[in-house]
A and B are shown apart, each in its own frame.
Chain A
């Protein structure tokens, strides 16, 4: 029943797409809608990079072009049919996406944007200059593909594009809801935590670009057959900006948003060709914004100061439209202006804005995602019981580790020995090197000298995600949750290592993937219940109260099936009842055989749960022993209280 309801819009859409060429015979309009569908496919791909991974890509026009030219060149030089060219375009463009991702691995934000811009520029130059392959500025003519020896009609090709769009929609939707999609979002929200959950940021950034490029190539190929002519000038940097505008204006992380975005960027230039139509639309937008702002003001959702600029903007745009005689020369300025408005006033896109506006007007409280309450299966063992046998044997050995930053020795020849099944406290004044030690243990820093042996093997030089997978999980001093993801999704990222299914299995929803997903889900719920968050499973992590965020972080770390759990100031910022709950949870985890290293300032916490305590001061270990001994140590008192 539920399923049918959610399928309904898609069924209506399919019916609409099938009927459209039957009722509209004007090829111009069919072509227009076809272009929107093709752009939508591209935006699905771009959304993976922009919406899910959170990176700005200005290289997608070039990837689109590579897709078109793969099809064009294969047809032109080898006479290949579309059934060869579509997969070829996807594969070739995906390879280029991987190449683009390589320099992108080491850089973020503005650098990445510039890298993709440079990539786009190079691609355009190469397409232009490599005339032996691409015919250069002359371009390539491509006829409509043949179906059983007969060229397709416009309507038939439209149906082909529609079918590809529907398939793309389903595949993208399945990808982003799978462990792969969760990895993308995790690396966007906190790359460091992502690595420490055993999900390699490097690997998934490349995968994101490859998948994204694959869709761009697919769209490019379809575009080549749709236009029947390709030339290098189409795939310029302005098109790349236009794609970005489409995705942020329509709405990130939304299939409907991509469609709306594609419609806007395809129709807008047509709109701008006709000054009268533009005047009408600009006036309507101005009226809608003014009325909407008025309603919002009357309900006190917003303040006059906040709506002033957008109102001036849209009214100014309407006035500008009446002042101009011809709009087409000012096309790009209008695009630029729209980008500015969207970036600052429509950050969540049309879809996101409509949602929140509707909710605010109806006055309905924000419903949590997913809705239904789920029963937790208590029989699931959510903590892997680590072999309790070897209790007391050495699990981790830190051997005279030196960590030097410039002239500062953050850790100065520190030795630690952590015994299996114990809780080892690490205390010391601010800046004494505790967090640095955590970062060395989890591979975020590589020590200047010394060695770290975990279960007899050196972890020095291993990546954070490899160390995490070998069984060391951690929490962070300043909570590093995946903020835009729900509580349960956060845990599922921790359970990423339990998934073995590949992309094909995800796309086709094959049994192994479905089984893994169901098992992971059940276990995640059990873990949430363990820390008392099962009621909040579908709440976004950033909306949780601080104390609950800390507990969620611990549950996420447990999902990794660790043997060693590092807690960095778990009690910081917690209230007294929260701390009590925390202690209960820590003891319970310890009972299942997991070993702890605990950094904490709340002495009562340290005293009540730790078996051994080491004290750091100025990067050196100044004391070690049972809590009571350490507390009575002269050196420790001196370090804390001063002279």
Chain B
């Protein structure tokens, strides 16, 4: 029973990180129908920039977060301008898939050259003594991860629902042409959605970094699994990604514990393949009508 509670609590923390990154996928998919295949690299860069801020510039963890968020926005805008906008212009799906993959590879390689190939420890802003709760040992950092992820998603939701600029983003997601007729510059909205998407990824990076190690290779698997979460939950459902994230986080932790940590990435990806084979719109998504 204790073990179960332990798996549950660790799984929830990991799952919330997946949910935040998946949330980033949703943001860009909604406005432009495109996805950043380098989303994991955005997270990795966020974590490493955060590490430099803390280690080299001696910044406080909490002060560093807005800096990293700002960096994430710049990085996301860069990806959109270089990799996505030209592809949207020529309506080439192949184009944005390949160019976001290419940018991801470049970011990873640049990170390797700047921060080296080894995984680095990230100092935790909170005490590392676990607290006992219902028989499980929970790290304060894990609670921060869950709270931080929820706050980030709620903030973006608040922005989208309550401000006119947020409404412009939602309108663009609804119907890009019609949004243009309202006087909304939809190209800027798409760039902004990429900025926001990378911001959430970078933020997720500094949240998870103290729990794991940071390094140039940390992003790839996280990005792929967050995509799995986005698909499992449905690319249009906010609740879906939280549920999807939690399912994946818990299944994965359980696999790591009961089978082998080497296999822990497998169940999520198999789940992804199964969902795509049987319900491509996701567990919470609505299926679209074919148009001829």
The answer to whether any beta carbons of A and B sit under 8 Å apart in the complex is yes
Other A-B pairs beyond A114-B231, A330-B109, 12, CB < 8 Å: A54-B94, A56-B94, A106-B280, A111-B280, A114-B227, A126-B266, A237-B220, A329-B112, A332-B105, A339-B102, A405-B289, A444-B290
User: Closest chain A residue to B279 by CB distance?
Assistant: A106
Docked CA distance A410–B282 (Å): 26
Docked CA distance A336–B105 (Å): 6
Contact (Cβ within 8 A) B94 A122: no
Is B34 close to A, CB under 8 A? yes
Is A343 close to B, CB under 8 A? yes
Is B119 close to A, CB under 8 A? no
Is A374 close to B, CB under 8 A? no
Q: Count residues of A near B (Cβ-Cβ below 8 Å).
A: 52
Interface residues of B in 79-122 (CB under 8 A from A): 82-83, 86-87, 92-95, 97-99, 101-106, 108-110, 112-113
Q: Count residues of B near A (Cβ-Cβ below 8 Å).
A: 47
From B68-76, B198-206, B268-276, give the one contacting chain A: B268-276
Partner of A339, one of B93, B98, B112, B224: B98
Given contacts A121-B221, A125-B263, A343-B99, contact A111 B82 (CB under 8 A): no
Contacts of A435 in B (CB 8 A): 292
Contacts of B277 in A (CB 8 A): 102-103, 105-106
Is A115 close to B, CB under 8 A? yes
Partner of B260, one of A58, A106, A129, A343: A129
Docked CA distance A339–B98 (Å): 7
Contacts of B231 in A (CB 8 A): 111, 114
Chain A interface residues toward B at CB < 8 A: 54, 56, 58, 102-103, 105-107, 109-111, 113-115, 117-119, 121-122, 125-126, 128-129, 192, 237-238, 241, 244, 248, 329-333, 335-337, 339-340, 343-344, 347, 405, 435, 438-439, 444-445, 476-478, 480
Docked CA distance A241–B227 (Å): 18
Contacts of A340 in B (CB 8 A): 82-83, 99, 102-103
Partner of B95, one of A54, A105, A344: A344
Contact (Cβ within 8 A) B101 A241: yes
Is B183 close to A, CB under 8 A? no
Contact (Cβ within 8 A) A333 B97: no
Least Cβ–Cβ distance between A378 and chain B, in angstroms = 36
Contacts of A444 in B (CB 8 A): 290, 292
Docked CA distance A110–B269 (Å): 16
User: Closest chain B residue to A109 by CB distance?
Assistant: B93
Given contacts A102-B277, A241-B105, A332-B106, contact A115 B94 (CB under 8 A): no
Is B58 close to A, CB under 8 A? no
Is B262 close to A, CB under 8 A? yes
Contact (Cβ within 8 A) B292 A336: no
Given contacts A114-B231, A126-B266, A343-B94, contact A337 B102 (CB under 8 A): yes
Jot down 13 A-B pairs with beta carbons below 8 A, ordered by A.
A56-B98, A109-B93, A121-B265, A121-B269, A122-B265, A125-B262, A129-B262, A237-B220, A331-B109, A333-B106, A336-B103, A344-B99, A435-B292
Is B35 close to A, CB under 8 A? yes
Given contacts A103-B273, A115-B276, contact A122 B266 (CB under 8 A): yes
User: Closest chain B residue to A99 by CB distance?
Assistant: B273
Chain B interface residues toward A at CB < 8 A: 34-35, 37, 82-83, 86-87, 92-95, 97-99, 101-106, 108-110, 112-113, 220-221, 224, 227-228, 231, 260, 262-263, 265-266, 269-270, 272-274, 276-277, 280, 289-290, 292
Contact (Cβ within 8 A) A111 B106: no
Contact (Cβ within 8 A) A113 B37: yes
Least Cβ–Cβ distance between B117 and chain A, in angstroms = 10
Contacts of B97 in A (CB 8 A): 56, 109-110, 113
Least Cβ–Cβ distance between B283 and chain A, in angstroms = 15
Contact (Cβ within 8 A) B94 A336: no
Contact (Cβ within 8 A) B35 A110: yes
User: Closest chain B residue to A337 by CB distance?
Assistant: B106
Least Cβ–Cβ distance between A560 and chain B, in angstroms = 17
User: What are the nearest 3 A-B pairs in CB distance?
Assistant: A339-B102, A336-B106, A332-B109
Docked CA distance A102–B263 (Å): 23
Contact (Cβ within 8 A) B98 A343: yes
Secondary structure of the B side of the interface? helix
Contact (Cβ within 8 A) B105 A335: yes
Contact (Cβ within 8 A) A118 B109: no
Contact (Cβ within 8 A) A329 B113: yes
User: Closest chain A residue to B269 by CB distance?
Assistant: A118
Contact (Cβ within 8 A) B105 A117: no
Contact (Cβ within 8 A) B99 A339: yes
Docked CA distance A192–B110 (Å): 43
Contacts of B94 in A (CB 8 A): 54, 56, 343
Given contacts A56-B94, A129-B260, contact A111 B105 (CB under 8 A): no
User: Closest chain A residue to B117 by CB distance?
Assistant: A329
Partner of A333, one of B109, B265, B292: B109
Docked CA distance A332–B41 (Å): 14
Docked CA distance A54–B95 (Å): 12
Contacts of B227 in A (CB 8 A): 114
Docked CA distance A340–B34 (Å): 17
Least Cβ–Cβ distance between A333 and chain B, in angstroms = 4
Contact (Cβ within 8 A) A122 B270: yes
Contacts of B265 in A (CB 8 A): 121-122, 125
User: Closest chain A residue to B259 by CB distance?
Assistant: A129
Docked CA distance A405–B288 (Å): 10
User: Closest chain A residue to B265 by CB distance?
Assistant: A125
Contact (Cβ within 8 A) B280 A107: yes
Contact (Cβ within 8 A) A336 B276: no
Least Cβ–Cβ distance between B91 and chain A, in angstroms = 12
Contact (Cβ within 8 A) A332 B108: yes
Contacts of A111 in B (CB 8 A): 231, 276, 280
Least Cβ–Cβ distance between A306 and chain B, in angstroms = 12
Least Cβ–Cβ distance between B273 and chain A, in angstroms = 5
Contacts of A107 in B (CB 8 A): 276, 280
Most chain B CB neighbours (cut-off 10 Å) among A110, A238, A335, A347: A110
Contact (Cβ within 8 A) A238 B292: no
Docked CA distance A337–B83 (Å): 11
Most chain B CB neighbours (cut-off 10 Å) among A103, A107, A118: A118
Contacts of B99 in A (CB 8 A): 339-340, 343-344
Least Cβ–Cβ distance between A263 and chain B, in angstroms = 20
User: Closest chain B residue to A122 by CB distance?
Assistant: B269
User: Closest chain A residue to B105 by CB distance?
Assistant: A336
Docked CA distance A357–B99 (Å): 24
Partner of B113, one of A113, A330, A343, A445: A330
Contact (Cβ within 8 A) B266 A115: no
Most chain A CB neighbours (cut-off 10 Å) among B95, B99, B270: B99
Docked CA distance A125–B255 (Å): 14
Docked CA distance A337–B276 (Å): 32
Contact (Cβ within 8 A) B292 A476: yes
Given contacts A125-B262, A337-B106, A340-B82, contact A114 B224 (CB under 8 A): yes
User: Closest chain B residue to A126 by CB distance?
Assistant: B266
Least Cβ–Cβ distance between A632 and chain B, in angstroms = 33
Contacts of B86 in A (CB 8 A): 344
Contacts of A109 in B (CB 8 A): 93, 97
